[in-house]
A and B are shown apart, each in its own frame.
Chain A
Amino acid sequence: MTDILIRGGRVVDPANERDEIADVLVIDGKIAAIGEALNGASNTIDATGQVVCPGLIDMHVHLREPGQEWKEDIESGSRAAVAGGVTSMCCMPNTMPRLDHAGVIRQIIERANQVGLCHLHPIGAVTKNLDGKELTEMRELARAGAVAFSDDGMPVWHGGVMRKALEYASSFDFLLIQHAEDLQLTEGGCINEGRISTQLGVDGMPSEGEDDMVARDIMLTRLVDARYHVAHVSCKGSVELVRQAKSEGLKVSTEAAPHHFALTEEEVLGFNADAKMSPPLRTEADRLAVIEGLRDGTIEVIATDHAPHHEDDKRCGLSCAAFGIVGLETMLPVSLALVRDGVLSLPDLIAKMTCNPAQLLNLNAGTLSEGEAADICIFDADAKWTLDRNKLFSKSKNTPWHGRELTGRVTYTLKSGRIVFDHHA
């Protein structure tokens, strides 16, 4: 299918401030026109009653390739992505080997192109081997395709190294993404520190272990005038720190993961290892603070921190279980609750998963502008369905939403004009 007419959907394209019922005409993989009663395509998708928006961008995923392909690989991760409406994703560098040299970055981009389902934009490592000591060749990595830099999974914990990393990255206008965690404060912890960790008798990770590193990094960002992005912000204190930094005009941005605005630490009761991730699920006050941050624009991006783990790594008791949950296939339905609850308009929500991350990362994606590649997500915002972990496209099944009813379902995903996911298939 080279020509497709997507007929009668609610076209939401925040970058172009478009929100109207319209047809979208795709020719030769590009958006040819958006308007009323279009013609001229050999194939038609009836999108009546559905939303047509730019393909989603998830700027924070772990694809486990190379090195841990039994958990996920680029192909299974791409299938999970497009099933969730995601057409561009940024994979974190904590693979084996790390994404700390150009060869491995080129290799995974090439692999993603072979798979051909989803655009892949790697995040390069800040330090060699994620050791937090020596900087990587960021310019070389960027030339190979890295769109930002992070040691995600680990923080750049050393203040002196972080300062140098911010100075060096900002010299070339690179974005630095920090997994903000004070490892000394969270040592041994496996869930949020508080009432639930005390009740279960497991060591906790205090939210102050996130706050203090965000605070330090913001001071360094002020000192060196850099672009700094807080990954998966999870608690009230760090949301407020980012808000203050922005009001001061610093180039600070942040993202929230759907589990942090949808769930709280109560999920872990019963020792549920599928509700264990880092940063952990926090209190209701923290959850509401993240929602307020999304509402007032402090948090401009929603990203999943998709972290596949094999059952063997989860079924060993809560304190031994690996950190992380899969998220690509649940991001959109879980996030749509923000629209139903009146926190965000639909265009504002979609902006946080399309043009906002595209702008931060300078990606040529996230819009439905005429002439651009036809990366499109079509979804039924009201469709109810029950998630069955065994039907996930991801190789890993570690999700807290198993057996729960979700509202909102992707029906079609197009990448460069090709249907890469069809819910009816």
Chain B
Amino acid sequence: MSAPFQHLFGIAQLSREQIEHLVQLGESFIELSRRPVKKAPTLRGKTVINLFFENSTRTRTSFEIAGKRLSADVINISASTSATKKGETLLDTGETLAAMQPHVLVIRHSISGACEFLADFLPDTSIVNAGDGAHEHPTQVLTDLLTLQTKAGGVSGKTMTIVGDIAHSRVARSHLLAAKKLDYKVRLVAPKTLLPRGIEQFGCEVFHNFDAAIPGSDVLYMLRMQSERLTSNCCFPSIREYHEAYGLNAARLAKAGDDCLVMHPGPMNRGVEIASEVADSARSHILDQVEHGVAIRMAVLTELCGSSPQPQARSKRRKQAEAAMQAQGKLL
């Protein structure tokens, strides 16, 4: 049995056993979503808040469905409707929601480290990272591992080739961390403009030529290329040239082995990083990833909600203020 944990900030904190346990638990949840009645009582009486400061369709929906199918009460808050528009800080928003006593806060934020930052002030609330800046995206990587478990018999010894905007990719960073723990190889393919400095120190092979990286790859993992980032930051001259150099089309896929899987964390830009002929082919497991995403998030929520009763959640700042009052001998 793997050790329990209160927060899920990233792959960095997880042991190999914990990762394998979550993937296994996720696998056992796949079947639930295929039943006519998609409901289990596991998380009855639990409250999950999805707090999304960045746009997201699949991750947010995935967490919502995962929670609801396990009978948790799930609330979604997106930045466009939240108090942040009124100038409330991330910390105040987090404290406010935590004071409503949810069991789990699922957070997506554009700031790297947003979850660790909030958890420092909210010691009693479980926090799940649904993507923080370019730092980590642990549930996506656990999802990918489940897909590889079911479609390729596991990941150990395999070579995953990740292609595209590595510089801004939290998925690529989380995979690099998982690869070390689960013994798979990572190849990164991108022009230097889309590679963060020193990435080769993280135990991966770096390619600028996509074609050279294809032979020997067991997975071609395509990252979304945000077109607005492409030209404004001088990362790439045009979508046309990007697709020609780093897009996955049928001709390129033909150079890969017959068993090579195509994956993508979504959302896809057809004709940019991936051609429709590949995205819609039998080699593509992009929709399997989406299905498995729900199962993995069920596993994560189950693990974090645990069985022990949750203490009343109070923020660190509040506790410190109360302690200071008491130290002065004042009644609260």
Contacts and interface: CB of A to CB of B under 8 A. Distances in A.
- Asked whether A and B interact, the reply is yes
Given A200-B135, A201-B170, A320 B111 contact: yes
A143 interface: no
Contact of A316 (B91, B112, B197, B202): B91
Interface string A195-222: 1011111101010000000000000000
8 contacts: A193-B197, A195-B201, A201-B170, A202-B134, A271-B116, A315-B89, A316-B89, A316-B90
A44 interface: no
A199 B10 CA distance: 12
Contact of A317 (B117, B173, B201): B117
A198 B112 contact: no
Contacts of B202: 198-199
A312 B317 CA distance: 13
A160 interface: no
Interface string B178-218: 00000000000000000011110110000000000000000
Interface of B: 89-91, 109, 111-114, 116-117, 132-136, 170, 173, 196-199, 201-202
Contacts of B113: 200, 202, 271, 317-319
A237 B121 CA distance: 40
A201 B117 contact: no
A206 B196 CA distance: 12
A97 to B, nearest CB: 25
Please classify the interface of chain A as helix (H, G, I), strand (E, B), loop, or mixed, using the class held by over half of its residues: loop
A249 interface: no
A317 B114 contact: yes
A198 B202 CA distance: 9
Contacts of A66: none
Interface of A: 193-195, 197-202, 204, 206, 270-271, 312, 315-320
Contacts of B135: 200-202
Nearest to A271: B113
Instruction: Select the residue from A200, A201, A270, A317 with max chain B CB neighbours within 10 A.
Output: A201
B306 to A, nearest CB: 25
Contacts of A319: 111-113, 133
A183 to B, nearest CB: 15
Contacts of A200: 112-113, 135
A197 B197 CA distance: 8
B132 to A, nearest CB: 8
B114 to A, nearest CB: 5
Contacts of A271: 112-113, 116-117
Given A315-B91, A319-B112, A201 B197 contact: no
Nearest to A193: B197
Nearest to B195: A198
B133 A201 contact: yes
A197 B90 contact: no
A265 B241 CA distance: 37
B116 A270 contact: yes
Nearest to B136: A201
B111 A317 contact: yes
Contacts of A201: 112, 132-136, 170, 173
A315 to B, nearest CB: 6
A40 B201 CA distance: 67
Given A201-B173, A318-B112, 19 more contacts: A194-B198, A197-B196, A198-B196, A199-B202, A201-B112, A201-B134, A202-B133, A270-B116, A271-B113, A315-B89, A315-B91, A315-B117, A316-B90, A316-B91, A317-B111, A317-B112, A318-B113, A319-B113, A320-B111
A270 B198 CA distance: 19
B90 to A, nearest CB: 6
Contacts of A312: 89
Contacts of A195: 197-198, 201
A25 to B, nearest CB: 45
B9 to A, nearest CB: 10
Contacts of A202: 112-113, 133-135
Kindly name the residue among A202, A271, A315, A317 whose own CB sees the greatest number of chain B CB atoms within 10 A.
A317
Contacts of A194: 197-198
Contacts of A320: 111
Contacts of B173: 198-199, 201
A199 B113 CA distance: 11
A319 B90 CA distance: 13
Contacts of A199: 173, 202
A193 to B, nearest CB: 5
A204 B90 contact: no
A267 to B, nearest CB: 14
Give 3 nearest A-B pairs by CB, closest first: A271-B113, A201-B134, A201-B135
A271 B135 CA distance: 11
A318 B109 CA distance: 12
Given A271-B113, A318-B113, A198 B91 contact: no
Contacts of B117: 271, 315, 317-318
A199 B11 CA distance: 12
A321 to B, nearest CB: 10
Contacts of B170: 201
Contacts of A193: 197
Contacts of A318: 111-113, 117
A193 B197 CA distance: 7
